[in-house]
Amino acid sequence: MHPNPTTPSPGRFPSTHWSRVIAAADPQRGRAREPLGELCRAYWYPLYAYIRRRGNGPERARDLTQDFFARLLERGTLAEADPSRGRFRSFLRTVCAHYLANLRDREAAIKRGGGVATMPIDAVEAEGRYERELADELTPERIFDRSWALALLGRALDRLRREYEEAGRSATFDALRGGLEFGPGDVHYATMADRLGTTEAAARVAAHRLRRRYGELLRREIASTLDDPADVEDEIRDLFASLGA
């Protein structure tokens, strides 16, 4: 049984991040900026990692990340957004690179008041993730793409967990989720069956459904960062390449 039969089919993609950017830039859309604020909170870490890798310490990177998002939410910046240029990921990274290149004029304001807290950044969490994910050979661009990929994977996993929780199947999710980290040949279905109190064959079917649904949710999440959902497979290849997969 599917964990949530009311969930939209994988072919029905949600509104894209580009559409939220354009809406937030429209002065006639009074409350359109709120979803973009949520977007900032969802994707702050890849930019934090990018800014850190550009040679900034933890506290400064936190302030710069907050200041960057505050400026991103200014209508002048958003009005320049052009979906025809491609991926939302590339847009954010390019705008951040320009922000850092022109930072000297903003130094005084940042030193006076620190970053504008568009969204809270937990310094301990940020540095903990940065240290865990850091690879010395990665350029700022590569660490941004890697962190972006991990953020998308995490968001898809969170959505999958919520579906199982809403269906009253949290125990099933907990028993099967380890199988998402391995190839089908490496999954210990007997262990899963023991935890679920079922047969190995049933555990295999349940694990397959979990992986399939995870893939659907990941594609939906990725599609929402693109202007054209047809580019999903190319984006998947690029993001998994950034993970070294």
Residue 80 lies in a domain: yes
pLDDT for 10 equals: 36
pLDDT for 240 equals: 87
Residue 190 lies in a domain: yes
Query: pTM for this structure?
Result: 0.75
Tally of structural domains, the chain: 1
Residue 176 lies in a domain: yes
Q: What is the 3-state secondary structure (H, E, C) of the chain?
A: CCCCCCCCCCCCCCCCHHHHHHHHHCCCCCCCHHHHHHHHHHCHHHHHHHHHHCCCCHHHHHHHHHHHHHHHCCHHHHHCCCHHHCCHHHHHHHHHHHHHHCHHHHHHHHHHHCCCCCCCCCHHHHHHHHHHHCCCCCCHHHHHHHHHHHHHHHHHHHHHHHHHHHCCCHHHHHHHHHHHHCCHHHCCHHHHHHHHCCCHHHHHHHHHHHHHHHHHHHHHHHHCCCCCHHHHHHHHHHHHHHCCC
The range of the structural domain enclosing residue 161 comes to 17-242
Residue 71 lies in a domain: yes
pLDDT for 171 equals: 94
pLDDT for 34 equals: 61
Residue 123 lies in a domain: yes
Residue 233 lies in a domain: yes
Residue 7 lies in a domain: no
Residue 112 lies in a domain: yes
Tell me which residue of 208, 189, 210, 214 sits closest to 200, measured CA to CA: 189
Reading the chain (245 residues) residue by residue, the pLDDT tens digits are 444 433 333 333 335 666 666 666 665 655 555 656 667 777 889 999 999 999 899 999 998 998 888 887 765 566 666 666 668 888 889 889 988 988 866 665 565 555 454 566 777 778 877 777 766 678 899 999 999 999 899 999 999 999 999 999 999 999 999 888 766 556 788 999 999 999 999 999 999 999 999 999 999 989 888 877 788 999 999 988 988 75
